[in-house]
Every structure is written in C-alpha cells, then in structure tokens.
Amino acid sequence: MVGVSYSPTQPMSIHSVPTSTRQSHVPSTTILIPNQNIPTIHQFITNWLIMDPSLLNKYQHNKKQRRNYQIQPNENMKFVYLLGGRFRTIKTKPITILTGLVIVIPGVLFWIFEAKHIWRDFHPAIVILFSYLWWLTFMFYFKSTTSDPGIIPRNIHLPKTLQNNKVTNPPEEYFNTITLPHNKHNVQVKYCASCHIWRPPRTSHCSTCQVCILSHDHHCIYLNNCIGERNYRYFLWFLLTAVLSCIYLLTITIIHLTHTNINQSIRKHPVALLLFIYSILALIYPFLLLLFHVFLTSQNLTTREYLNYVYKIKNSGYVNGFDQENIFKNLYINWIGKSGGIALVRPRDKYEPGDLRFENIEPLELAIAVSER
C-alpha cells in the first residue's frame, strides 16, 4: 500500500511537506477578536466548561498554546468538549439530556416521597440498594455518552500524491476491499476516503460524528455518541443496570401499594403509583434492547454486522471470524474480559502545529460513497 503512515498517538509534522499542502485552521474570512476584549467568565465557559472547536477560531489565542481538542480539522465534525476536554458529546438534538432526565426524575421522586417511609416501615437496606443501582445506572450512562468510543486519528495513510491539501491520482488499491486472513477465516478492510486511513476490521465511518470508530457497533441517538471499542462495555452495563433498577423500583412500589389497603395506599402515597407506572413504561425499551445485545454478544457480533450481513441478507453464508465458538466465552469477552484499550487521539495533549492528524485534507472524490458504507 503506497502512502505515508505513523504512530497514531504521536503527532506527525508537516514541516517536511511543501508549504502549498498546509492549511490554516483559522479561515481567512473570520474576524478575530482579541483576548483582552473577552470577559474572563466568558472565556471560562466557552473555552473550558463547554467548548465548541468550530467557534474557537473566532478568537485569538496567541498567548496560550492550544490542545488537541481545541482543533477541529473538518467543519462537518460536531464534537463539543466539556471540562477542558475531559468529556465529549456532539452537536445534535439534545436527546441525551432527555435520557438523563428519564434516569434522574424517578430517583429524585423516590428519595423525596418514598425513601423516608420505606426506610422507617420496611427496611433501610431497600433504600440503600435502590440508591446503589440508580448510581450505577447513571454512571454507566454518563460513561457511555461522554467517553471516546474508539476514534481513529485522521490522515494516517496519505498517498504521496498529496498537493494543496488534496490527493490527486490516488493508488487504485485505495478504492478496493482488501481481504486478510484472521482466526481461520477472512476479514475485509477498506480505505476511508474521508479520514484517509486504512480501516482495521470492524471499523466503520460514522456519518454523524464524521470519524472512524474501532469495532463500531452503532451510533446511539439516545446517548449522542457512537458505541464502539472503548465504550461498548459501558453501554452493555448501562442497559443491564437500567433494567434491574426498573424491576427493583417496580417491586418496591408494588409492595408499598399492597402492604395495606391498595385504595388507601394510593390516596396516601400517589407518587408510589406514579413510580409504578413510570417503571413499567421505562422498562420496555431497555429490556428489549438488552435482550438483543445479549444475543449479539453471545455470538460476538456487532449491530452493524448483524443488520448488514445476517438479518438483511438471508442465507448469505456470512462467517463471523470473531466468533469464539463458545457462547460463554463470547459473553465474557464482551461484558467483562475485553479491555477498552487506550485513546488513539489524546484530546488534552498539547497541539503541535503541523500535526497531520488535525489537518483538513480533502476526501478522495471517487471513493466518498464507498467510505461511508
């Protein structure tokens, strides 16, 4: 494969690349506003608390070196960073906030209206166990929605025909699907024309996030994040703890309402009835999704593989080269045993000017459609 490659965790300088191939991250039409005209509280909120890299170019930051998360190589990328690059989400419909409220609201209602009564009349352990399950659910939700799903750096494998931030006459193999042996079977790898990398097996380009994700399972609209190599386990445990929390809350409310006369209990504790209904409604979708992912993990399949090769194409003869041929081993790998690995792009590292990973290189024109598959 003809091209230029480098270690993805190390910055790659373009000082050796002709000047014509470099491109500034500050558009020439942007009006720069000096730092001293911006209130400190405004800089704190927009540059650390909630930071949108696409808006940072409006301001001059000559006195302070930028970090990787403050550089956005592609205007179509939608990342927004929180707390100085420690967490991330994407600019889209704030459905993840609604998901968080669905988790927080029943907990708050329980602690305000139910916890005291159950602690006194039943047993403190009931309240403690619910609080523990709720905390696990919220933490797995937070990790799933704000962590790196396995983003691969851009521009790792650039053809030598790069001129003016555009690849001319790329090698023919960059448009082909390459078959490689793996675990007694074959796997396929493709070149991503948008990210300019040879994608490892199971890696896919997310059209929403505009990045390639290792072991890409799916893009979750309820979490505003991709689910992949580095956060799939958090996602699985989020589903499990959410289902357990709903079942446990449902059980508590049933016992509470039927402990004495049910009509009297409803009049005296209407929130218990509300939580009962809430638990049933909130249980349905996560439970079905959990069953689906238990099935997938028992076969060591991703959602994309199942939908594209198993479900969509009946009797296609698809062979899963990652199946360990043991259900329990597959479950162990996905739920417990598989490490999330390290971040291939460290957002909080200092940005080195000329780092090719953060340069805006135009996609290969003839392969744009291919790279999105």
Active site (catalytic) residues:
220
Round to whole Å and give the CA distance between 153 and 146.
18
CA 194 to chain centroid, in Å, comes to 19
Maximum pairwise Cα distance, the chain: 83
* DSSP for 104-150, written as a single string: HHHHHHIIIIIHHHHHHHT-HHHHHHHHHHHHHHHHHHHHHHHS---
Q: How many CA atoms lie within 13 A of 194 on its CB side?
A: 22
Q: Is 354 left (phi over 0), alpha (psi -120 to 50) or beta?
A: left
Q: What is the DSSP letter of 364?
A: P
Round to whole Å and give the CA distance between 61 and 116.
53
Q: What angle do CA 138, 141, 143 make, to 5 degrees?
A: 110
Cα dihedral 131, 137, 138, 139 sign: positive
